Structure 1
Amino acid sequence: MLPTGPRVWLGAVAVLAALVVVALGILYAGSSGPGVVDVRAGAAVESAGSSWRHVALATDFLGELGGAAMLVVAAAAGALVLRRRRAAVFIVAGPGLTVAATKLLKPLVGRTIHDGHLSYPSGHTAFLTAFALTVALLATGRLGLGSAAGTSLVLAAATAAGAAMGWAQVALGAHYPTDALGGWCTALAVTPATAWMVDRTADRLVGRVPDVRQPDPR
Protein backbone atom coordinates (compact mmCIF):
# COMPACT_ATOMS: atom_id res chain seq x y z
CA MET A 1 0.00 0.00 0.00
CA LEU A 2 3.01 2.26 0.46
CA PRO A 3 4.75 2.43 -2.96
CA THR A 4 8.52 2.04 -2.93
CA GLY A 5 9.17 5.23 -4.92
CA PRO A 6 7.56 7.85 -2.64
CA ARG A 7 8.12 5.87 0.57
CA VAL A 8 11.08 7.87 1.90
CA TRP A 9 9.54 11.24 1.07
CA LEU A 10 6.20 10.32 2.57
CA GLY A 11 7.91 9.07 5.70
CA ALA A 12 9.61 12.44 6.11
CA VAL A 13 6.35 14.27 5.43
CA ALA A 14 4.56 12.11 8.01
CA VAL A 15 7.12 12.94 10.69
CA LEU A 16 6.98 16.66 9.90
CA ALA A 17 3.17 16.61 9.90
CA ALA A 18 3.12 14.87 13.28
CA LEU A 19 5.38 17.57 14.71
CA VAL A 20 3.06 20.28 13.37
CA VAL A 21 0.04 18.57 14.94
CA VAL A 22 1.81 18.44 18.31
CA ALA A 23 3.08 22.03 18.05
CA LEU A 24 -0.34 23.46 17.19
CA GLY A 25 -1.94 21.33 19.87
CA ILE A 26 0.40 22.75 22.50
CA LEU A 27 -0.03 26.29 21.18
CA TYR A 28 -3.82 26.24 21.29
CA ALA A 29 -4.35 23.85 24.21
CA GLY A 30 -7.29 24.90 26.33
CA SER A 31 -8.08 28.00 24.25
CA SER A 32 -11.55 29.01 23.16
CA GLY A 33 -10.88 31.67 20.57
CA PRO A 34 -9.06 32.28 17.30
CA GLY A 35 -5.37 33.06 17.09
CA VAL A 36 -3.75 35.71 14.90
CA VAL A 37 -3.43 33.28 11.98
CA ASP A 38 -7.07 32.25 12.39
CA VAL A 39 -8.28 35.85 12.25
CA ARG A 40 -6.38 36.64 9.08
CA ALA A 41 -7.15 33.38 7.29
CA GLY A 42 -10.77 33.48 8.41
CA ALA A 43 -11.19 36.98 7.00
CA ALA A 44 -9.91 35.79 3.63
CA VAL A 45 -12.40 32.91 3.58
CA GLU A 46 -15.31 35.11 4.62
CA SER A 47 -14.54 37.53 1.79
CA ALA A 48 -15.85 34.91 -0.64
CA GLY A 49 -19.37 35.82 0.43
CA SER A 50 -22.49 33.83 1.25
CA SER A 51 -23.04 32.77 -2.37
CA TRP A 52 -20.54 29.95 -1.82
CA ARG A 53 -22.35 28.56 1.20
CA HIS A 54 -24.09 25.79 -0.77
CA VAL A 55 -20.69 24.64 -2.06
CA ALA A 56 -19.36 24.62 1.49
CA LEU A 57 -22.36 22.59 2.67
CA ALA A 58 -21.93 20.06 -0.13
CA THR A 59 -18.25 19.68 0.72
CA ASP A 60 -19.03 19.41 4.42
CA PHE A 61 -21.43 16.52 3.68
CA LEU A 62 -18.49 14.43 2.47
CA GLY A 63 -17.07 14.58 5.98
CA GLU A 64 -20.35 13.69 7.69
CA LEU A 65 -21.11 10.08 8.56
CA GLY A 66 -23.38 9.52 5.55
CA GLY A 67 -21.09 11.14 3.00
CA ALA A 68 -17.94 9.56 4.42
CA ALA A 69 -19.53 6.11 4.45
CA MET A 70 -20.63 6.56 0.85
CA LEU A 71 -17.09 7.39 -0.28
CA VAL A 72 -15.40 4.61 1.68
CA VAL A 73 -17.93 1.90 0.77
CA ALA A 74 -17.82 2.80 -2.93
CA ALA A 75 -14.02 2.81 -3.03
CA ALA A 76 -13.69 -0.40 -1.00
CA ALA A 77 -16.28 -2.14 -3.18
CA GLY A 78 -14.35 -1.11 -6.27
CA ALA A 79 -11.17 -2.58 -4.78
CA LEU A 80 -12.95 -5.85 -4.00
CA VAL A 81 -14.34 -6.04 -7.53
CA LEU A 82 -10.75 -5.76 -8.76
CA ARG A 83 -9.80 -8.49 -6.25
CA ARG A 84 -7.53 -6.20 -4.30
CA ARG A 85 -8.43 -7.16 -0.75
CA ARG A 86 -5.42 -5.44 0.77
CA ALA A 87 -6.42 -2.19 -0.93
CA ALA A 88 -9.97 -2.55 0.40
CA VAL A 89 -8.64 -2.92 3.93
CA PHE A 90 -6.45 0.14 3.50
CA ILE A 91 -9.34 2.21 2.12
CA VAL A 92 -11.26 1.52 5.32
CA ALA A 93 -8.36 1.61 7.78
CA GLY A 94 -6.62 4.75 6.46
CA PRO A 95 -9.47 7.24 6.93
CA GLY A 96 -10.83 5.28 9.90
CA LEU A 97 -7.64 5.46 11.96
CA THR A 98 -7.13 9.08 10.96
CA VAL A 99 -10.55 10.09 12.26
CA ALA A 100 -9.94 8.01 15.39
CA ALA A 101 -6.74 9.99 15.96
CA THR A 102 -8.65 13.28 15.81
CA LYS A 103 -11.19 11.91 18.29
CA LEU A 104 -8.37 11.11 20.72
CA LEU A 105 -6.59 14.41 20.23
CA LYS A 106 -9.59 16.70 20.72
CA PRO A 107 -10.08 16.11 24.45
CA LEU A 108 -6.32 16.11 25.02
CA VAL A 109 -5.90 19.54 23.41
CA GLY A 110 -9.17 20.91 24.74
CA ARG A 111 -9.56 23.75 22.24
CA THR A 112 -13.18 24.80 21.84
CA ILE A 113 -15.39 26.79 19.53
CA HIS A 114 -19.07 27.82 19.77
CA ASP A 115 -20.26 27.02 23.28
CA GLY A 116 -17.59 24.53 24.18
CA HIS A 117 -17.49 22.24 21.14
CA LEU A 118 -14.06 20.60 20.80
CA SER A 119 -12.45 21.81 17.60
CA TYR A 120 -8.79 20.78 17.25
CA PRO A 121 -8.00 19.03 14.99
CA SER A 122 -10.76 19.10 12.39
CA GLY A 123 -12.10 15.58 11.87
CA HIS A 124 -13.84 16.51 8.61
CA THR A 125 -10.61 17.86 7.12
CA ALA A 126 -8.65 14.88 8.38
CA PHE A 127 -11.11 12.40 6.84
CA LEU A 128 -11.25 13.86 3.35
CA THR A 129 -7.49 14.35 3.28
CA ALA A 130 -6.93 10.76 4.40
CA PHE A 131 -9.39 9.41 1.84
CA ALA A 132 -7.76 11.35 -1.00
CA LEU A 133 -4.33 10.30 0.24
CA THR A 134 -5.40 6.66 0.35
CA VAL A 135 -6.78 6.70 -3.19
CA ALA A 136 -3.70 8.55 -4.48
CA LEU A 137 -1.35 6.01 -2.87
CA LEU A 138 -3.25 3.15 -4.49
CA ALA A 139 -3.18 4.92 -7.86
CA THR A 140 0.54 5.53 -7.51
CA GLY A 141 1.20 1.87 -6.89
CA ARG A 142 -1.18 0.76 -9.64
CA LEU A 143 0.42 3.05 -12.22
CA GLY A 144 3.95 2.26 -11.07
CA LEU A 145 4.90 5.91 -10.74
CA GLY A 146 8.42 6.84 -9.70
CA SER A 147 9.47 8.73 -6.61
CA ALA A 148 9.00 12.27 -7.93
CA ALA A 149 5.76 11.67 -9.84
CA GLY A 150 4.26 9.47 -7.16
CA THR A 151 5.06 11.86 -4.33
CA SER A 152 3.73 14.80 -6.33
CA LEU A 153 0.45 13.01 -7.06
CA VAL A 154 -0.07 11.96 -3.45
CA LEU A 155 0.72 15.36 -1.96
CA ALA A 156 -1.33 17.20 -4.59
CA ALA A 157 -4.38 15.02 -3.89
CA ALA A 158 -4.02 15.42 -0.13
CA THR A 159 -3.53 19.18 -0.40
CA ALA A 160 -6.51 19.68 -2.71
CA ALA A 161 -8.82 17.62 -0.50
CA GLY A 162 -7.57 19.22 2.70
CA ALA A 163 -7.85 22.73 1.29
CA ALA A 164 -11.40 22.13 0.03
CA MET A 165 -12.69 20.68 3.29
CA GLY A 166 -10.72 23.13 5.42
CA TRP A 167 -12.21 26.04 3.49
CA ALA A 168 -15.70 24.59 3.95
CA GLN A 169 -15.24 24.17 7.69
CA VAL A 170 -14.02 27.73 8.13
CA ALA A 171 -16.67 29.16 5.81
CA LEU A 172 -19.39 27.41 7.81
CA GLY A 173 -17.89 28.55 11.10
CA ALA A 174 -17.39 24.99 12.31
CA HIS A 175 -13.63 25.28 12.80
CA TYR A 176 -10.77 27.73 13.01
CA PRO A 177 -8.27 27.66 10.11
CA THR A 178 -5.60 26.16 12.38
CA ASP A 179 -8.04 23.36 13.27
CA ALA A 180 -8.22 22.53 9.57
CA LEU A 181 -4.43 22.66 9.30
CA GLY A 182 -4.18 20.29 12.24
CA GLY A 183 -6.65 17.90 10.61
CA TRP A 184 -4.71 17.97 7.34
CA CYS A 185 -1.45 17.22 9.12
CA THR A 186 -3.07 14.45 11.17
CA ALA A 187 -4.02 12.69 7.93
CA LEU A 188 -0.52 13.16 6.51
CA ALA A 189 0.94 11.61 9.64
CA VAL A 190 -1.48 8.72 10.18
CA THR A 191 -2.29 7.51 6.65
CA PRO A 192 1.25 6.57 5.51
CA ALA A 193 1.78 4.82 8.86
CA THR A 194 -1.47 2.91 8.29
CA ALA A 195 -0.31 1.87 4.81
CA TRP A 196 2.92 0.52 6.29
CA MET A 197 0.98 -1.32 9.01
CA VAL A 198 -1.43 -2.90 6.50
CA ASP A 199 1.50 -4.05 4.35
CA ARG A 200 3.37 -5.56 7.29
CA THR A 201 0.30 -7.31 8.67
CA ALA A 202 -0.74 -8.69 5.28
CA ASP A 203 2.78 -9.90 4.52
CA ARG A 204 2.94 -11.74 7.84
CA LEU A 205 -0.43 -13.39 7.25
CA VAL A 206 0.59 -14.47 3.75
CA GLY A 207 3.81 -15.91 5.15
CA ARG A 208 1.86 -18.07 7.60
CA VAL A 209 -0.43 -19.58 4.95
CA PRO A 210 0.95 -22.88 3.67
CA ASP A 211 1.54 -23.12 -0.07
CA VAL A 212 -1.08 -25.69 -1.16
CA ARG A 213 0.59 -25.98 -4.53
CA GLN A 214 3.57 -27.79 -3.06
CA PRO A 215 3.26 -31.60 -3.01
CA ASP A 216 3.15 -33.30 0.38
CA PRO A 217 6.53 -35.02 0.82
CA ARG A 218 4.83 -37.88 2.62
Structure 2
Amino acid sequence: MRILLLSDLHANPAALEAVTAERFDRLICLGDLVGYGPSPSEVIRFIREHAFATIRGNHDNALALDVECRCSPDLKALAESTLACHRSLLNSEELDWLRALPNSVEFTLDGYRFAAFHATPHDPLYGYEITPELPDDQLREQIEGIKADFILLGHTHLPMVRGIGSRIVVNPGSVGQPKDGNPETSYAIIEDGVVELRRAKYDLPGTVDALRKLPLSAELIDQLTSILEQGTLK
Protein backbone atom coordinates (compact mmCIF):
# COMPACT_ATOMS: atom_id res chain seq x y z
CA MET A 1 0.00 0.00 0.00
CA ARG A 2 1.24 3.45 -0.96
CA ILE A 3 0.34 6.13 1.61
CA LEU A 4 0.61 9.83 0.77
CA LEU A 5 1.23 11.91 3.89
CA LEU A 6 0.49 15.64 3.77
CA SER A 7 0.43 18.48 6.28
CA ASP A 8 0.12 22.25 6.43
CA LEU A 9 -1.50 22.75 3.04
CA HIS A 10 -2.38 26.35 3.90
CA ALA A 11 -4.87 27.06 1.13
CA ASN A 12 -2.31 26.51 -1.63
CA PRO A 13 -4.05 24.40 -4.30
CA ALA A 14 -1.20 24.68 -6.81
CA ALA A 15 1.18 23.04 -4.34
CA LEU A 16 -1.44 20.42 -3.49
CA GLU A 17 -1.91 19.63 -7.18
CA ALA A 18 1.83 19.06 -7.63
CA VAL A 19 1.94 16.67 -4.66
CA THR A 20 -1.15 14.68 -5.56
CA ALA A 21 0.24 13.94 -9.00
CA GLU A 22 1.86 11.09 -7.04
CA ARG A 23 0.15 7.70 -7.22
CA PHE A 24 -1.34 6.80 -3.85
CA ASP A 25 -3.73 4.30 -2.30
CA ARG A 26 -4.49 6.27 0.86
CA LEU A 27 -4.05 9.95 1.68
CA ILE A 28 -3.49 11.16 5.25
CA CYS A 29 -3.81 14.88 6.02
CA LEU A 30 -2.32 16.22 9.26
CA GLY A 31 -4.15 19.53 9.30
CA ASP A 32 -3.86 23.24 8.59
CA LEU A 33 -5.79 23.30 5.36
CA VAL A 34 -6.44 27.03 5.77
CA GLY A 35 -4.48 30.18 6.56
CA TYR A 36 -1.84 32.11 4.58
CA GLY A 37 -2.75 30.90 1.07
CA PRO A 38 -5.16 32.14 -1.60
CA SER A 39 -7.78 29.38 -1.98
CA PRO A 40 -9.09 27.55 1.11
CA SER A 41 -12.22 26.11 -0.53
CA GLU A 42 -10.28 24.29 -3.27
CA VAL A 43 -8.01 22.65 -0.74
CA ILE A 44 -10.85 21.66 1.59
CA ARG A 45 -12.83 20.22 -1.31
CA PHE A 46 -9.98 18.01 -2.46
CA ILE A 47 -9.17 16.71 1.01
CA ARG A 48 -12.82 15.99 1.77
CA GLU A 49 -13.07 13.94 -1.41
CA HIS A 50 -9.78 12.06 -1.24
CA ALA A 51 -8.40 11.76 2.30
CA PHE A 52 -8.65 8.54 4.27
CA ALA A 53 -8.04 10.49 7.50
CA THR A 54 -7.82 14.22 8.28
CA ILE A 55 -7.11 15.97 11.55
CA ARG A 56 -7.65 19.56 12.66
CA GLY A 57 -4.68 21.93 12.74
CA ASN A 58 -4.34 25.08 14.81
CA HIS A 59 -5.29 27.31 11.86
CA ASP A 60 -8.32 25.14 11.07
CA ASN A 61 -9.26 25.33 14.74
CA ALA A 62 -8.84 29.11 14.86
CA LEU A 63 -10.94 29.64 11.76
CA ALA A 64 -13.73 27.24 12.65
CA LEU A 65 -14.01 28.20 16.34
CA ASP A 66 -12.99 31.88 16.06
CA VAL A 67 -10.13 31.55 18.55
CA GLU A 68 -6.41 32.38 18.52
CA CYS A 69 -4.25 30.15 16.33
CA ARG A 70 -1.30 30.71 18.70
CA CYS A 71 1.29 30.83 15.93
CA SER A 72 4.68 32.51 16.30
CA PRO A 73 4.62 36.31 16.92
CA ASP A 74 6.35 36.92 13.56
CA LEU A 75 3.34 35.40 11.79
CA LYS A 76 0.53 36.75 13.97
CA ALA A 77 -0.57 39.55 11.61
CA LEU A 78 -0.39 37.26 8.58
CA ALA A 79 -2.37 34.53 10.33
CA GLU A 80 -5.10 36.80 11.66
CA SER A 81 -5.53 38.68 8.37
CA THR A 82 -5.63 35.62 6.14
CA LEU A 83 -7.91 33.68 8.50
CA ALA A 84 -10.35 36.60 8.55
CA CYS A 85 -10.26 36.62 4.76
CA HIS A 86 -10.76 32.85 4.56
CA ARG A 87 -13.71 33.02 6.95
CA SER A 88 -15.49 35.18 4.39
CA LEU A 89 -14.62 32.76 1.56
CA LEU A 90 -15.89 29.55 3.18
CA ASN A 91 -19.52 28.49 3.45
CA SER A 92 -21.20 27.20 6.59
CA GLU A 93 -20.86 23.55 5.54
CA GLU A 94 -17.09 23.91 5.09
CA LEU A 95 -16.77 25.61 8.47
CA ASP A 96 -18.83 22.86 10.10
CA TRP A 97 -16.59 20.24 8.50
CA LEU A 98 -13.45 21.92 9.84
CA ARG A 99 -15.07 22.22 13.26
CA ALA A 100 -15.87 18.50 13.36
CA LEU A 101 -12.35 17.30 12.53
CA PRO A 102 -10.63 15.36 15.34
CA ASN A 103 -7.46 16.54 17.11
CA SER A 104 -5.84 13.15 16.62
CA VAL A 105 -6.59 9.81 15.00
CA GLU A 106 -5.35 6.24 15.29
CA PHE A 107 -5.75 3.67 12.54
CA THR A 108 -4.20 0.59 11.01
CA LEU A 109 -3.13 0.38 7.37
CA ASP A 110 -1.19 -2.35 5.63
CA GLY A 111 -0.62 -4.09 8.96
CA TYR A 112 1.01 -1.04 10.62
CA ARG A 113 -0.40 1.01 13.49
CA PHE A 114 -0.51 4.77 12.98
CA ALA A 115 -1.10 7.61 15.45
CA ALA A 116 -1.54 11.05 13.87
CA PHE A 117 -1.45 14.51 15.43
CA HIS A 118 -1.11 18.00 14.02
CA ALA A 119 1.55 19.16 16.48
CA THR A 120 2.69 16.80 19.26
CA PRO A 121 1.03 13.89 21.08
CA HIS A 122 0.80 15.86 24.34
CA ASP A 123 -0.19 19.17 22.70
CA PRO A 124 -1.96 18.15 19.48
CA LEU A 125 -2.78 21.65 18.26
CA TYR A 126 0.02 23.91 19.41
CA GLY A 127 3.22 22.10 20.47
CA TYR A 128 6.39 23.07 18.60
CA GLU A 129 8.81 20.93 20.61
CA ILE A 130 9.35 18.10 18.11
CA THR A 131 11.84 19.32 15.52
CA PRO A 132 14.58 17.59 13.53
CA GLU A 133 17.19 18.84 16.05
CA LEU A 134 15.42 17.52 19.17
CA PRO A 135 17.72 15.08 21.04
CA ASP A 136 16.62 11.44 21.12
CA ASP A 137 15.98 11.40 24.87
CA GLN A 138 13.65 14.40 24.62
CA LEU A 139 11.89 12.96 21.58
CA ARG A 140 11.39 9.73 23.50
CA GLU A 141 9.72 11.73 26.29
CA GLN A 142 7.48 13.53 23.80
CA ILE A 143 6.13 10.26 22.35
CA GLU A 144 5.98 8.34 25.61
CA GLY A 145 2.87 6.21 25.88
CA ILE A 146 2.01 6.31 22.17
CA LYS A 147 1.53 2.74 20.99
CA ALA A 148 2.04 2.88 17.23
CA ASP A 149 4.54 1.85 14.60
CA PHE A 150 4.34 5.29 12.96
CA ILE A 151 3.74 8.57 14.77
CA LEU A 152 2.71 11.24 12.27
CA LEU A 153 3.19 14.94 13.01
CA GLY A 154 3.02 18.28 11.19
CA HIS A 155 2.83 21.90 12.41
CA THR A 156 6.53 22.86 12.32
CA HIS A 157 6.76 22.86 8.49
CA LEU A 158 10.08 21.01 8.91
CA PRO A 159 10.34 17.55 7.26
CA MET A 160 11.72 14.81 9.47
CA VAL A 161 12.00 11.02 9.81
CA ARG A 162 13.31 9.74 13.14
CA GLY A 163 13.52 6.21 14.51
CA ILE A 164 13.03 5.83 18.26
CA GLY A 165 13.17 2.18 19.25
CA SER A 166 10.55 0.35 17.23
CA ARG A 167 8.65 3.55 16.42
CA ILE A 168 9.14 5.90 13.50
CA VAL A 169 8.28 9.59 13.86
CA VAL A 170 7.43 11.31 10.58
CA ASN A 171 6.81 14.94 9.75
CA PRO A 172 6.22 15.40 6.00
CA GLY A 173 6.94 19.12 6.13
CA SER A 174 4.55 21.62 4.59
CA VAL A 175 2.75 21.32 1.28
CA GLY A 176 1.65 24.94 1.11
CA GLN A 177 4.31 26.95 2.96
CA PRO A 178 7.70 25.21 3.43
CA LYS A 179 9.96 26.82 6.03
CA ASP A 180 13.13 24.71 5.89
CA GLY A 181 14.86 26.92 3.33
CA ASN A 182 13.57 25.01 0.32
CA PRO A 183 10.54 26.58 -1.40
CA GLU A 184 9.51 23.33 -3.12
CA THR A 185 6.42 21.69 -1.66
CA SER A 186 7.20 18.96 0.87
CA TYR A 187 5.44 15.63 1.56
CA ALA A 188 6.10 11.99 2.42
CA ILE A 189 5.38 8.59 0.92
CA ILE A 190 5.08 5.52 3.16
CA GLU A 191 5.18 2.22 1.29
CA ASP A 192 5.84 -1.26 2.68
CA GLY A 193 6.86 0.29 5.99
CA VAL A 194 9.48 2.56 4.41
CA VAL A 195 9.24 6.36 4.61
CA GLU A 196 10.53 8.66 1.88
CA LEU A 197 10.48 12.43 2.17
CA ARG A 198 9.90 14.09 -1.19
CA ARG A 199 9.85 17.56 -2.76
CA ALA A 200 8.10 18.89 -5.85
CA LYS A 201 8.11 22.15 -7.76
CA TYR A 202 4.76 23.86 -8.23
CA ASP A 203 3.31 26.99 -9.84
CA LEU A 204 4.62 29.46 -7.26
CA PRO A 205 4.14 32.55 -9.51
CA GLY A 206 0.50 31.54 -10.01
CA THR A 207 0.06 31.24 -6.25
CA VAL A 208 1.55 34.70 -5.73
CA ASP A 209 -0.75 36.14 -8.41
CA ALA A 210 -3.73 34.59 -6.60
CA LEU A 211 -2.55 36.04 -3.28
CA ARG A 212 -2.43 39.52 -4.78
CA LYS A 213 -6.17 39.27 -5.53
CA LEU A 214 -7.02 38.85 -1.85
CA PRO A 215 -8.17 41.91 0.15
CA LEU A 216 -4.89 42.15 2.06
CA SER A 217 -2.41 44.99 2.43
CA ALA A 218 0.57 45.17 0.07
CA GLU A 219 2.88 44.72 3.07
CA LEU A 220 1.24 41.42 4.06
CA ILE A 221 1.21 40.16 0.47
CA ASP A 222 4.91 40.94 0.16
CA GLN A 223 5.64 39.08 3.39
CA LEU A 224 3.67 36.03 2.28
CA THR A 225 5.40 36.11 -1.10
CA SER A 226 8.84 36.28 0.51
CA ILE A 227 8.10 33.24 2.68
CA LEU A 228 6.92 31.23 -0.31
CA GLU A 229 9.82 32.25 -2.57
CA GLN A 230 12.53 31.65 0.03
CA GLY A 231 10.97 28.77 1.92
CA THR A 232 11.74 30.49 5.21
CA LEU A 233 10.65 33.34 7.47
CA LYS A 234 14.06 35.04 7.21
Bigger Cα Rg: 1
TM score, norm. by length of structure 1: 0.25
Higher RCO (CA 8 Å, separation ≥ 6 residues) = 1
The structure with more strand, counted as a fraction of residues: 2
Flag the structure with higher helix content. 1
Query: Could you tell me the TM-score, scaled by structure 2's length?
Result: 0.24
